A and B are shown apart, each in its own frame.
Chain A
Amino acid sequence: MHLTLLLSTVVVAAPLIYAFLGSTQTRAEAYTYPPRIAPGSGLVQNFQHAWQLGLGRMMLNSTWISLVVTVGKTALALLAALALVYFEFPWKGAVFFFILVTLMMPVPVRIVPLFNLAASLKLGNTYWALILPFLASATGTFLFRQHFMSIPHSLVDAARIDGAGPLRFLMKILIPMSWNTIGALAVIEFVYMWNQYLWPLLIISSPDKQVIQIGLKLLRSPEEAIQWGMVMAGSVMAIMPPLLLFLLLQEQFMHGFALSEEK
């Protein structure tokens, strides 16, 4: 049993270590055949080179848009869930359905007109183009809605008796009870934005607004032998933020998302 786990762990975790090793190799060391497995001497060089080639700026860009979207999406989802669970209004079912249907619309199935739309709104090559389409989410709304519905009625009634308005109720009661869900959503949304590839590939045309994933793609010069040392350094750089966030919020992720049944 331990053996299986150990073996699986090696298969799953080893590539990260190998990538890190690769990032230490200088240009010459990377060209040798048979391939070196021992660490090389180019660690600082490779990271510096990758950073200077624009990856530094792109890390900032990715961080910025991921943070903005995570915060924005969470906020919008909280508000929407508040409305759906604690209010009565006509057409509530239809509204919920309206939000639900967007689960069937991942980016690629609307990519061509989305591109045209961004172009006509003059959003080509802007941070807004990267942020706006992702600010609302069915997933977040569902998670919070489900979570809110699982909160005991007694608490809600007590708050109502206290005379708290809906927004105070949200801030003072709901949010403190939802940290697991918020944490889980934060991980999911941050990772999701950080890993965006197709949309930035299409809509961003200058390196000062480009995101890290596409930056990695551009590290490969089409006409020159691929510099694995630098590419691996860039990859390691790109992994760090989402990985760190994930490790930090691991518990919330496990409890807030997985243990509540689906969306």
Chain B
Amino acid sequence: MASKFKGRLLPFFLLLPTFVILTVFLYYPQIETFILSTYQVAFFGLRKTFVGIGNYLSLFQSPDYLYSVMVSLIFSGGVLLLSMSGGLGLALLLNKKIKGARIYRMALIWPYALSPAVAGLIWLYIFSPNSGVVNYALGTLFNIQPNWIGNPTLALLLVIFTAAWKQLGYNIVFYLAALQNVPGQVLEAATIDGANAFQRFWRVTFTLISPTTFFLVITDLVYVFFETFGMIDIMTAGGPVNATNIMIYRLYQDGFRYFETGLASAESAILFVMMVILTWIQFRIQRKWVYYA
């Protein structure tokens, strides 16, 4: 334990700004979300009626809401699968000493700096059903031009792909770092023991990088549930027929399009509970695996 500085007052002042910001802009609205969710509100407070758990009941009974929960699960499952397996695969390749690794690395990671909105715009441009280059190519080669925006399944696939594409770089960075931390001797020992490449990977490498995997699952889930809003707003606005209406987008519509602020607060509260569960899981797992160097 490093020796500490003396003083009880100074740490208070050091922490004060952080404390104030977090209380005012994070804790207060968070608590208020729960309170507001028990009311039915019209137009930002024009009328307020206490309904208790009424909003929650109507959400859980609403087929549209349950549908958007399902869409969110499919969306996140798809993005995680694509982005993490792709990330791991590419990290494995980049981990070898090959020429131009740095250039490849840069070229593969850059979408991290891209905003979801711009990613959405660019892929919308490419996949535009009637004027995009993909459909032109498909039309010429195979005489099919799928309606990427108008067909519910295809639209969902398109946003899954776009979201996974953008997050790929992030996953690569972390997996690469984790792979570089795998001690060579352990792998050598495994080889000596007669393990083949496949076994070496699954039983040794994958196990050793599993903390990173868990970390990425959590971070990627946060990304998929919350940060893809701009992408969805630009590409599909939740459609067609709610096929890409993930929970956060639905929340936005209910809260700020139709001004059902009580209902939207209930939706926020549900998302918060999900976050709590996720974070709790992450910290339980982390405590078992992570150590401070």
Per-position binary interface string of chain A over residues 179-197, scored 1 when its CB falls under 8 Å from any chain B CB and 0 otherwise: 0000000010001001101
A28 contacts partner chain B, Cβ-Cβ < 8 Å: no
In the bound complex, what is the Cα–Cα distance between A221 and B24 (angstroms)? 37
Least CB distance, B102 to chain A, in whole angstroms: 9
A171 contacts partner chain B, Cβ-Cβ < 8 Å: no
Number of interface residues of B (CB under 8 A): 98
Stretch at the interface among B1-9, B56-64, B73-81, B185-193: B1-9
Residue of A nearest to B31 (CB): A113
Q: Are B108 and A110 in contact (CB under 8 A)?
A: no
Stretch at the interface among A29-37, A41-49, A51-59: A29-37
In addition to A35-B133, A110-B30, 16 A-B residue pairs with Cβ atoms within 8 Å of each other are A1-B98, A35-B131, A80-B14, A109-B30, A113-B30, A133-B25, A135-B17, A136-B25, A160-B3, A198-B229, A216-B121, A243-B110, A250-B106, A254-B177, A258-B174, A261-B211
Residue of A nearest to B252 (CB): A198
Residue of A nearest to B271 (CB): A109
In the bound complex, what is the Cα–Cα distance between A246 and B264 (angstroms)? 36
In the bound complex, what is the Cα–Cα distance between A249 and B234 (angstroms)? 29
Q: Are A19 and B125 in contact (CB under 8 A)?
A: yes
Q: Are B113 and A243 in contact (CB under 8 A)?
A: yes
**Contact residues in A for B261 (Cβ distance below 8 Å):** 112
**Contact residues in A for B264 (Cβ distance below 8 Å):** 111-112
A interface residues (Cβ-Cβ under 8 A, vs B): 1-2, 4-5, 8-9, 11-13, 15-16, 18-19, 22, 33-35, 37, 76-77, 79-80, 82-89, 95, 98-99, 102-114, 116-117, 132-133, 135-136, 141, 146, 149-151, 153, 156-157, 160, 165-166, 169, 187, 191, 194-195, 197-198, 201-202, 213, 216-217, 228, 231-232, 235, 238-239, 242-243, 245-247, 250, 253-254, 257-259, 261-262
Least CB distance, B203 to chain A, in whole angstroms: 21
| B2 partner, pick from A99, A157, A195, beta carbons under 8 A | A157
In the bound complex, what is the Cα–Cα distance between A31 and B96 (angstroms)? 45
In the bound complex, what is the Cα–Cα distance between A87 and B90 (angstroms)? 43
Least CB distance, B223 to chain A, in whole angstroms: 10
| A113 partner, pick from B36, B116, B122, B211, beta carbons under 8 A | B36
**Contact residues in A for B275 (Cβ distance below 8 Å):** 104-106, 109
In the bound complex, what is the Cα–Cα distance between A85 and B117 (angstroms)? 38
A112-B14 CB under 8 A given contacts A4-B93, A88-B4: no
Q: Are A1 and B96 in contact (CB under 8 A)?
A: yes
| A13 partner, pick from B3, B107, B255, beta carbons under 8 A | B107
A166-B5 CB under 8 A given contacts A113-B265, A213-B230: yes
**Contact residues in B for A110 (Cβ distance below 8 Å):** 26, 29-30, 32-33, 268, 272
In the bound complex, what is the Cα–Cα distance between A176 and B90 (angstroms)? 34
Least CB distance, A108 to chain B, in whole angstroms: 5
Q: Are B177 and A217 in contact (CB under 8 A)?
A: no
**Contact residues in B for A156 (Cβ distance below 8 Å):** 2-3
**Contact residues in A for B226 (Cβ distance below 8 Å):** 106-108
Q: Are A198 and B29 in contact (CB under 8 A)?
A: no
8 A Cβ contacts from B61-108 to A: 86, 89-90, 93-94, 96, 98, 104, 106-108
In the bound complex, what is the Cα–Cα distance between A102 and B29 (angstroms)? 12
Residue of B nearest to A247 (CB): B106
